[in-house]
Amino acid sequence: MNRRDFLRRSICTALGGVGLYSAMGNLKLLEAAIGGYGPNAFSDYKALVCVFMYGGNDALNMVVPRDATHYAQYASARATLAVAQSDLLPLVPLAGGGASDGASYGLQSATGGGDTVGMAGLQGLFNKGRAAILGNVGTLVTPVTKARYQSGTAALPPQLFSHNDQQTYWQTSRSDDVRNLGWGGRIADLLQDANPGASIPMALSLNFESELGRAAFSNQYVIGSGGPRNIGDLQWNAERRAAFMPLMAPGTQANPLERGYASAFNRYMDNAEAMADALDGAPQLATVFPGSSLGAQLSMVARLISVRATLGLRRQVFFVSMGGFDHHDRLLENQPGLLAELSQALTAFDAATVELGVANSVTAFTASDFGRTLSSNGDGSDHGWGAHHFVSGGAVRGGRFYGRMPVLANDGPDDAGWGQIIPTTSVDQYAATLARWFGVGESEIDLIFPNLGNFASRNLGFMQPA
């Protein structure tokens, strides 16, 4: 019996009548497993990079059926929102990797904003087998049918169709933890000892703290797109800094709250210094990133990956994001530019991982609040549920569609009502497949994703074996 199994069984005994899948039992078991992955757990390097599209991306206008029969059904359902059939970039799946509905699909190309590239980059990654498409993913507690949803008998995630609540659920994948720890943060807690001698935390977020990386024991680190933020650089506030810094010195705090704040602040300063020193020695990348916000974030992620050995890291979880996807209006006008930004940044990032020799060790994946309604409100779409997503990298079994594509018919079998498409793949299944590749053991996956056992498939198969 290994150490993790011993800890898990011991805590089960201690909990007595509290079941494994209860909130208390599950969280206690996860905490007991922390430290079970020691400094020799991994000899390789792996990174997960979450690209979050805030606002709820209309994925039905991102991945669009293009054969005559399925396009006609799509155009009828979307009405004023339909992308012209001539504006679709063909996706050519590998043998046996076609969509579940038998349709041919394409990605939206440039239709506005002066962009001439559109999603050609992601089209190329898919067609070269370096990216996969997951069909109709969303927040689920258990599988949901239209009949159960409309009868009110289905177990549902909290506050469906709410931006904030669904952003949280996508990044935490559970509602029984009042601390709102992210599933990336829970992984970082679990594997924290597998980064021996690390000088910065495993979970890093660009520009602001993410819920995905929020952890109980390992600290998330936030870095700017231009590098670490250090209070020593704030010369415009020199007087305040001069008064503030002595308060952070050891032994000067009067109560536990002050000591806790000082400890966190000094830890942040240490992280910033270690990261700045490492980045000073980072190699100059030949890969050119787009000048967009997402391009700058992913460029910094690539630079951080390039100094992973200096920072003592074997596992990393990154969070980057872009906004502007809440298209209740002007969907056809504004979405193409955002999709082009997404495509160009992800394509450059893939090229950078190849340049750095870590293409098989780094996996990027998309997420968003929710999908949008199939039905049109005239000039845009409203808050929906299920949506398609991309996974890219050398370890991805790309050039394939995964999951079940929905029937694109208003009031059809996948329409919960008002055009809100019921997901057929859960966030738990999506994230658990990534976590397994990352190195999380099968038993710990259930602790991180407590609803995974409610679904028939534990592994969606889009990643190469670990």
Bridge-based pairing of strands 401-402 and 88-90 is unpaired
- Of 81-90, 134-143, 223-232, 441-450, the poorest mean pLDDT is in 223-232
Q: Which residue has the tokens 């599209």?
A: 53
- H helices within 314-388, ranges in order? 331-356
Please say if the pLDDT value at position 123 is more than 70: yes
CB distance 123 to 386 below 8 Å: no
Residue type, 224: G
pTM of the model: 0.91
More confident residue, 261 or 91: 91
Average pLDDT, stretch 222-251?
76
pLDDT of residue 319: 98
Phi/psi-derived region of residue 96, left when phi > 0, alpha when psi is between -120 and 50, beta in every other case: left
Average pLDDT, stretch 372-390?
98
Q: Which residue has the tokens 């190469």?
A: 464
d(CA 140, CA 6): 32
Size of the chain, expressed as the number of residues it contains: 466
Domain coordinates in residue numbering, the chain: 1-33, 46-227+273-454
pLDDT of residue 16: 29
pLDDT tens, position by position, 144-175: 999 999 999 999 999 999 999 999 999 999 87
pLDDT tens, position by position, 53-62: 999 999 999 9
Reading the block at residue 74, the tokens are 């799509």
Q: What is the mean pLDDT of the chain?
A: 89
State the architecture of 46-227+273-454 in CATH terms: 3-Layer(aba) Sandwich (3.40)
pLDDT of residue 38: 87
pLDDT of residue 228: 85
Please say if the pLDDT value at position 439 is more than 50: yes
The C-alpha torsion from 176 through 178 and 183 to 187, rounded to 10°, is -110
Please say if the pLDDT value at position 264 is more than 90: no
pLDDT of residue 7: 37
